[in-house]
Homo-oligomer: A and B are copies of this chain.
């Protein structure tokens, strides 16, 4: 039923699915949240929402012409070539463009993900001819994997290594090139096809569960909007342009406000208390909750984290970290509002 129209369905026209939409926006506000895993049945708006997100993303500066998305102002986020030019005193050409959503197809080979080196030229001419991979394209952006639980184990290993080290290494028969590769990982999955390896599950900062709407009126609204969109995508998008622009500006404001958001010691203790009560492993949950709560406050226009922010953050950050317990209980708590498919 995907129409594959090059015009994406507007994010703001999605009916319901508040958890899903919030978790995506929080990751735009603070990319340090490390992504979101979207679990849900077939035919819910999982992919639609992620693709629609592209429209709302802020701009970043990149070194013009650099296939590795080097940051012209931060040597630590530069690939070797840009770094060499920077160190040689060159003033790197700057281009502004939107943060990118890079899609990783399930059938992608390791070469396509990692990139390759044309070894012959490398050896003959002493020059590394690099074909950057999807990890280079996703640096400083969003890497989106539809059906992330179907990924080949080898590709998962590559994602884990890259997520752990913030670096991707392209190599072929001993010749190698490393470049920064830091990205927000967004994955969707239908649990019917199998679960994630614990290691990969842990790499997602947040997790939401999406389900179809059960209110007939809202279902009809979904079908009406969808039919209208398929009849004429451009006109439909136009109709929602105002709403889209408003959301875009709200996100920009929240990004700007985030560093000023404060969390009291009481809030920090409330966060620690959550993790301890649920028995989640380690400390990562505390830090994700703090970041999510601050992003929620910024999104709400406040500069102080509230107890409600902690509640909402816990609902998004803890469900997939609870050890050996069923998911649903917790997800339902924080995911009561259901959405469009």
**A-side interface residues toward B, CB under 8 Å?**
1-6, 32, 34, 40-45, 47, 76, 103, 105-112, 115-116, 118, 121, 123, 129-133, 146-147, 150, 154, 157-158, 160-161, 163-167, 169, 171, 173-176, 180, 182, 190, 192-193, 197-199, 202, 205, 212-214, 216, 219-220, 222-224, 226-227, 230-231, 259, 265, 268-269, 271-273, 275-276, 280-288, 290, 321, 323, 340-341
How many subunits of this chain does the assembly comprise?
A: 6
Contacts A216-B269, A220-B272, A282-B341 aside, 13 further interface pairs with beta carbons under 8 A come to A2-B164, A44-B281, A105-B161, A108-B161, A123-B129, A150-B157, A212-B281, A219-B276, A219-B283, A219-B286, A220-B268, A223-B271, A226-B287
A108 surroundings in chain B (CB, below 8 A): 161
Q: List 16 A-B contacts (CB under 8 A).
A: A1-B205, A1-B288, A2-B164, A107-B158, A112-B171, A118-B173, A123-B129, A133-B174, A147-B160, A147-B199, A150-B199, A214-B276, A220-B268, A223-B283, A227-B290, A231-B259
A164 to B190, CA, bound (A): 14
Nearest to A156 among chain B residues (CB) is B107
Nearest to A130 among chain B residues (CB) is B174
A283 surroundings in chain B (CB, below 8 A): 43-45, 212-213, 219, 222-223, 226, 340-341
The 6 residue pairs across chains A and B that have the minimum distance between CB atoms: A131-B174, A4-B166, A43-B282, A283-B341, A43-B284, A41-B281
- Please give the distance in Å from A117's CB to the nearest CB on chain B: 8
A3 surroundings in chain B (CB, below 8 A): 32, 166
B224 A284 Cβ-Cβ under 8 A? no
A265 surroundings in chain B (CB, below 8 A): 220
A116 surroundings in chain B (CB, below 8 A): 173-174
- Please give the distance in Å from A329's CB to the nearest CB on chain B: 20
- Please give the distance in Å from A184's CB to the nearest CB on chain B: 12
B147 A268 Cβ-Cβ under 8 A? no
- Please give the distance in Å from A257's CB to the nearest CB on chain B: 15
Q: Which of B103, B227, B275, B321 contacts A219 (CB 8 A)?
A: B275
A169 to B134, CA, bound (A): 13
A288 to B173, CA, bound (A): 38
A192 surroundings in chain B (CB, below 8 A): 198
B2 A105 Cβ-Cβ under 8 A? no
A118 to B120, CA, bound (A): 11
- Please give the distance in Å from A5's CB to the nearest CB on chain B: 8
B32 A166 Cβ-Cβ under 8 A? no
Nearest to A45 among chain B residues (CB) is B283
Known contacts A198-B193, A272-B219; A106/B160 CB under 8 A: yes
Known contacts A118-B123, A223-B271; A41/B341 CB under 8 A: no
A288 surroundings in chain B (CB, below 8 A): 1
A4 B220 Cβ-Cβ under 8 A? no
A216 to B3, CA, bound (A): 44
A2 to B288, CA, bound (A): 11
A43 surroundings in chain B (CB, below 8 A): 202, 280-285, 321
